[in-house]
Amino acid sequence: MEISERSLQEQICEIGQRAVRYGLVKAISGNISARLPGADRFWITATGTALDALTPDDLVCVDLNGHVCGGSHPPSSEHQLHLAIYQRRPEINAVVHLHPPLATVVGTALGEVRPMTFEGNYFLGDVAVVPPILPGTQEVAQAAAEASDGSRVLVLQHHGSVCLGEDLEEALYRSIELEETCRLIVIARAIGAEVYLPGWAVERMRGHRYREGT
């Protein structure tokens, strides 16, 4: 069913509230964007907005040339990251950038995030880890966009996560599963174990993941 831009704005606000409830972001950090399928513009949270208190008035419209075309506030300082992904991945309609604590720690400390469960592999696939780059820069935007060629789930070291989807629900589901996977990794290491999904299982599940297609 087709939705209106107003409905899309309301969905962004709802996803922001849910992300905070799930403990994936605190205070005024993180940013969320979405566009209607095939649209040449996207709506993104404004700079300095709290995701658990979003209203449609807190959103800014940016076109695929990077020009602000709607809203009354400056866009998030990470709007270049969202823009670069939309430019590179035309099938992506939602980008959720959060600061989940465990995913940030695991991706930064270990340099990788490997699923431990069948469910994690199903929803996440291959997780890309992007080296430390100053937030809000064209450099981090370009690095994230390039990393998205092979994954819809990214961890930015010392920064947070970026999850992509064909819609907002998919991007949020990936964010939740990423944090749960990293929680299991932390628990396993706390008891002195290093347990990942066996290689044969990863290979057999290729082509049978949630919305496969990276």
- Catalytic positions, written as ranges: 78
Q: Tokens in use for 55? A: 């209203």
Largest CA distance in the chain: 53
179: amino acid identity, one letter:
E
Write out the chain in H/E/C secondary structure: CCCCHHHHHHHHHHHHHHHHHCCCCCCCCCEEEECCCCCCEEEEEECCCCHHHCCHHHEEEEECCCCEEECCCCECCCHHHHHHHHHHCCCCCEEEEECCHHHHHHHHHHCCCCCCCHHHHHHHCCCEEECCCCCCCHHHHHHHHHHCCCCCEEEECCCEEEEEECCHHHHHHHHHHHHHHHHHHHHHHHCCCCCCCCHHHHHHHCCCCCCCCC
β-pair partners for 60: 44
